Chains A and B, each alone.
Chain A
């Protein structure tokens, strides 16, 4: 039995190996060519740009973070052979294509304004106060076309110019701050930092205070749960387990 179970883990390891210990060339049926700094590399098809670069020999020490589309570290610019357009992508969330000319953008030298959220009046002019370049927007829509999250960036820039916190917050919410919009913007606007300011202002001042949390914090501060904690913490393991099982059986589900 013991032996059998150990085999089980080996079987799983074998099945998982492409993700944990790299690609076995023998299993690859389709190949493509990509270009890094103009040099051609042959890599398996059906990899992300990031995985393809690794296969080609790169061990990243920048331009990488979450590998799942959440952190914006892997901004990439590319052009596909035969096309003239410069495109943008997240290397971890985009399939490598045949003929891609690739470059990673690990850093964007954009300015972030400094402010004290506690002393900022809830006034729509705050956007232009800290990011006056917003007014230079020529509505070219490059930011929107650039955004790897497919956000309507130009629309939230326009909302910011009008001082509409809620729209900025909602329309920019999925921004992962990769910085590609700012890098491409001909008006040198820093869209993603302006959006961050807008979301914080909206979260702090635009939403009502949540009643339950305020009440609960007061209760905790006044020591309301101390007695009960003491009781529960003095239980023996088997007694606590009983309480736990009962609680689990009465749980809220959906």
Chain B
């Protein structure tokens, strides 16, 4: 059969719809649909949001959050057996003896390491364990920006109110206060370390709004914001010679006989040997869970986003919260096939791009909070049947990106979104001239391990920071608040852990008692399964290969 003929990246039938988009473009330029009322928001969420539609979740049967609801894919991991056999490991031979172990080197973990060092913990008494390389993380991918209320017409209190409303008022107020109050401090800190944020001609920061954000307070570095922030922090981290080990995921925490967090088991993904870390404090900063593909959604997340941190902490007895909500980003790429699910930053919409249906019509205010915007797009595709179907059978709506240059002047898109323009160009699409096709994609873990404003969990010696934590975003996070969350609570947990370790001794004995106890709870509950967790990596191997795979080396 002949290859599908493409005209500048799109098959002819999609071009037909693009013509309709072009036809209405001028008319739409300065008109937007009305924002939804609270009732309308409710209605579209209940009917079309994957979180609200039944069948995707169930109750957790064991542990601290027994009875709480979470996505099936997450419960599957909580109701799974450990990857190690507790009694086969020698816990007495310690390979790394440190004050603070940080698990995961994204923005949260790297910030924590630097602040712990600033607060008196020597570089060789801090260790970051990374599953992949230091920086292979969701943090690297943040495009849109980081919120901080620093303009004269804004304030941390206004920011606070936006966060609470966006999170459906389910957030933990004291944690949100810390988030919004520390935000300018975090941006200032990054600038002083040499991070380059976009500026206006007069030297002030160039700031934009985001969905559900009432003031312009998004600080960005073109569309490489997370990359700029993390590479600066990583460089600073390396300059200080802080302990760092790569390709060595933590596969289980260790506790002392009283249940305090006291260390961890690392697993070298190359040699497959385990290593024992003893630590007085542990900061879990493992990020999110996009690679679980909740409800079969594609994801924006990096390869290592597999919920390991939640599994490890939960087994040690940590409390979770807001496990029932997941964030779907309204605009993931739906075409071409090679980039399905990858993110098209919200900043495109704050810069003027509008969601448009197959007939070239607007159907939603472009900057509703994420959950509302995503639901409206699903409704347009599957409820109103006004989506565009791709050659692989996905449906999506247009994001009319050419509007950005029309509104803000020629060259804006290329200057403000080099990463996006580059990505589409690599696969044959020119987003400056043509709209791009989008559909919601699994983006962010709203809930997680519960903390207080200093990163403490309910387990002594155990801290969490970043996407793995729960509470600060309530039921829905707003754009630009999670890189912020990582910076603020990474810093705070680093400071607090440094304080904590000065007054405690190392554990006398390292144990896996909490794991043994967890296994017996699984058995008591009659949870019989071959599932094991943490899963560490997703698996996209071809099915044919797997059918013929045989294991000869063990």
Interface residues of A (CB under 8 A from B): 2, 5-6, 8-9, 11-23, 25, 27, 29-30, 43, 46-48, 51, 54-62, 64-71, 73, 93-95, 106-107, 112, 114-117, 149-150, 169, 173-174, 176-177, 196-197, 199-204, 207-208, 210-217, 220, 225, 228-229, 232-233, 237, 240-241, 243-245, 247-254
The answer to whether residues A9 and B50 also contact, given A16-B394, A65-B303, A247-B158 and a CB cut-off of 8 A, is yes
Q: Which residues of B contact A201 (CB under 8 A)?
A: 194
Q: Which residues of A contact B241 (CB under 8 A)?
A: 114
Tell me whether B150 and A114 are in contact (CB under 8 A). no
Tell me whether B157 and A229 are in contact (CB under 8 A). yes
The one of B165, B367, B537 in contact with A59, judged by C-beta atoms closer than 8 angstroms, is B537
The answer to whether residues A200 and B3 also contact, given A57-B541, A68-B342 and a CB cut-off of 8 A, is no
The one of A14, A199, A228, A240 in contact with B196, judged by C-beta atoms closer than 8 angstroms, is A199
Give me 29 A-to-B residue pairs in the complex whose CB atoms sit less than 8 angstroms apart, sorted by A's number. A5-B53, A9-B55, A12-B382, A20-B297, A47-B337, A54-B541, A64-B136, A66-B303, A68-B141, A68-B343, A69-B423, A173-B196, A173-B221, A177-B231, A196-B231, A200-B235, A202-B194, A203-B193, A203-B232, A204-B194, A211-B203, A212-B204, A213-B205, A216-B148, A229-B181, A232-B157, A244-B162, A248-B212, A254-B209
Docked pose: A238 CA to B65 CA in angstroms: 28
Give residues 415-471 of B contacting A (CB, 8 Å). 418-419, 422-423, 426-427, 439
Docked pose: A228 CA to B307 CA in angstroms: 37
Docked pose: A229 CA to B137 CA in angstroms: 34
The answer to whether residues A149 and B422 also contact, given A18-B392, A173-B196, A201-B194 and a CB cut-off of 8 A, is yes
A241 nearest CB across to chain B (Å): 7
Q: Which residues of B contact A243 (CB under 8 A)?
A: 161
Interface residues of B (CB under 8 A from A): 1, 3, 35, 38, 47-48, 50, 53-56, 132-133, 135-138, 140-141, 148-153, 155-158, 160-162, 164-165, 169, 173, 177, 181, 184-185, 187-188, 191-197, 199, 203-205, 209, 212-216, 221-222, 224, 226-228, 231-232, 235-236, 238-239, 241, 247, 269-270, 293, 295-300, 302-304, 336-343, 350-352, 367, 378, 382-383, 392-395, 407, 418-419, 422-423, 426-427, 439, 537, 539-546, 549
Nearest to A204 among chain B residues (CB) is: B194
Tell me whether B238 and A112 are in contact (CB under 8 A). yes
Docked pose: A47 CA to B392 CA in angstroms: 13
Docked pose: A172 CA to B525 CA in angstroms: 56
The answer to whether residues A66 and B185 also contact, given A117-B194, A212-B152 and a CB cut-off of 8 A, is no
A144 nearest CB across to chain B (Å): 16
Tell me whether B302 and A71 are in contact (CB under 8 A). yes
Tell me whether B213 and A251 are in contact (CB under 8 A). yes
Tell me whether A65 and B423 are in contact (CB under 8 A). no
